[in-house]
Every structure is written in C-alpha cells, then in structure tokens.
Amino acid sequence: MNKILISLVTMLCMQGMAFAQAAITVYKSPTCDCCKKWISHLEDNGFKVKSVNMNNVVPKKIEFGITRQTASCHTAVVEGYVIEGHVPANDIKRLLKDRPKGVRGLAVPGMPVGSPGMEQGDRKDPYAVLSIDKQGQTRVFARH
C-alpha cells in the first residue's frame, strides 16, 4: 500500500513539474501592457516564457493559422500548440495534459475584460476559450 501511495505522489509531483517547466514562446508588440501582464500570469503559474517583441505580429498569426475571428493581441506557441490571446494558464495546462485529438490550439478572441492580463478592478466580462482544430473550426473549450 505504501509503495502505491509513494508512486502516486511521485507521479503527481512529476506532472506538476512538467507544467512548471513548460516553455512557451509569446510573439507580441513591444508596447503592449496587457501582453506583459499575460506573460506575468503565465510565469506566476509555472510557465517558462520566452517573449519575442515584433512591430507586426500578423505574419506570425498567419503562419500559425489564426483567423480574424479568433485573433487577439498576442500569439504564443507551447509544445506544438498555438495559443491566441488571453487564455488562462489553467486552460493551457489542461490542453497540455489532455492533448485532445485534432486540436491545434486555443484562443480567446478579442480582449475580454477580466481575462488574464485584461483585469480592470472587479469587472469580469464572460468569455469563452475556444479550441481550434486542424481545419480552423472552433469549439468552446472553457467558459469563464
């Protein structure tokens, strides 16, 4: 029984370490404060962030298949997945843990108030995190 418990605890700790060590590259404008706040949110949640400042992020969005309907201010890549906009760290962790079939990324279109990096006091507008499949179709991944 103790061996099983030790194995379970070890496995859970290693899962947490995998998230803590996940490297994410963020392509953003050098002047965007909300992007900087989102990066801080990721770092506070255990991600190792590489920030790439670009005067024009649109070519990266096109490269990663982000459409106008799913676009936001920054685009990121983590373990082969594209992350567009103010996606909460816990949703990214869930994506990396579950690795849903056919999903190539997550997006929070626009810049909803209350999403990570877009905090404005107590105001929190409802928003959806969308999964994006390989054909560019979207589905609701999470609601906040």
Number of domains the chain is built from: 1
What pLDDT is recorded for position 119? 95
At 11-63, the pLDDT tens digits run: 444 444 444 578 999 999 999 999 999 999 999 999 999 999 999 999 999 99
55 within domain boundaries = yes
Q: In terms of residue numbers, what domain contains 88?
A: 20-143
What pLDDT is recorded for position 125? 96
CATH of the domain at 43: 3.40.30.10
What pLDDT is recorded for position 92? 98
Q: Are 86 and 72 in contact (CB under 8 A)?
A: yes
68 within domain boundaries = yes
10 within domain boundaries = no
- Bigger pLDDT: 6 vs 124: 124
3 within domain boundaries = no
What pLDDT is recorded for position 107? 98
31 within domain boundaries = yes
DSSP SS3 for 123: strand
* Cα-based angle 125, 42, 101 (whole degrees, multiple of 5): 85
43 within domain boundaries = yes
What is the spatial distance between Cα 26 and Cα 35, in angstroms, rounded to a whole number? 9
How do strand 103-108 and strand 128-133 relate by DSSP bridges? antiparallel
What is the spatial distance between Cα 22 and Cα 96, in angstroms, rounded to a whole number? 9
84 within domain boundaries = yes
* Cβ atoms within 10 Å of 67's Cβ, excluding its own: 14
126 within domain boundaries = yes
At 63-84, the pLDDT tens digits run: 999 999 999 999 999 999 999 9
Instruction: Please count the CA atoms within 13 angstroms of the CA of 126 that sit on its side-chain side.
Output: 3
Structure tokens at 132: 């994006």
